[in-house]
Amino acid sequence: MAASDVVLGFDFGTTNSLASVFIGDKVITFLDNEQPIPSVVSFEGGKVEVGRKARDKLTSAGLGVQGSTVRSPKTLLGRDELIIDGVRRDPVKIVEHVLEHVRNFVLQSRAGRDLKMDRVVATIPINMEGRRRALLRQAFRQAGMSVVQFVHEPLAALYGYLRTSASGDDMIKRHNGKLLLVFDWGGGTLDLTLCRLLDGLLVQVANDGAEDV
């Protein structure tokens, strides 16, 4: 498979977002100065800014709309349009700004310039279902990407740990048939997934979580 045809992993987080890809046996994670990209959008003065420039405009902690800046637009999916800086804004479009910013960052990087980044596996909180999941898929599509599959964030974290750990194969053998509880404590959400390892496969047994951490 050519590098341009690979599927990228996309973590659209409550606080930060980033993309990664496997090319052969090598994992490439696209970081901005060794940091993920803040999931923040600013509409100050009618100008759209995303990421660090938008985050620098925040004057307080917390999620949602703060003046003309939106922190974690993912939490707004499913809501009606919002009035931000005197303009009606569609939450899906606000999410699209973040997704497109991350995509452009990858394509403009040295390691990502040969990638299409038109197909992604996207992580989601365990309680993102129904309409909100469909709206997120729509935002990805508007940003030039199709979602091949959604993966719950704790499951993705466990898979990534086992896949990249030097003792991953040994751990899989030692924990075969056992239950593993994964805590994914993010910037505003807490997701828990109970998994069982069965002959190298990760099987989700139960999920729970909260969005108001």
User: Residues 113, 116, 120, CA angle at the centre, nearest 5°?
Assistant: 120
Collapsing DSSP states into helix, strand and coil, what is residue 200?
Answer: coil
- Residue-wise pLDDT for 86-113, tens only, equals 889 999 999 999 999 999 999 999 989 9
Write the pLDDT tens digit of every residue in 8-23: 999 998 889 999 998 8
pTM equals 0.88
HSE of 142, CA atoms in CB hemisphere, 13 A: 16
pLDDT, tens only, 110-132: 989 999 999 999 999 888 888 99
Neighbours of 34 (CB within 10 A): 6
Q: What are phi and psi of 38, to 5 degrees?
A: -60, 135
Contact 4, 116 (CB under 8 A): yes
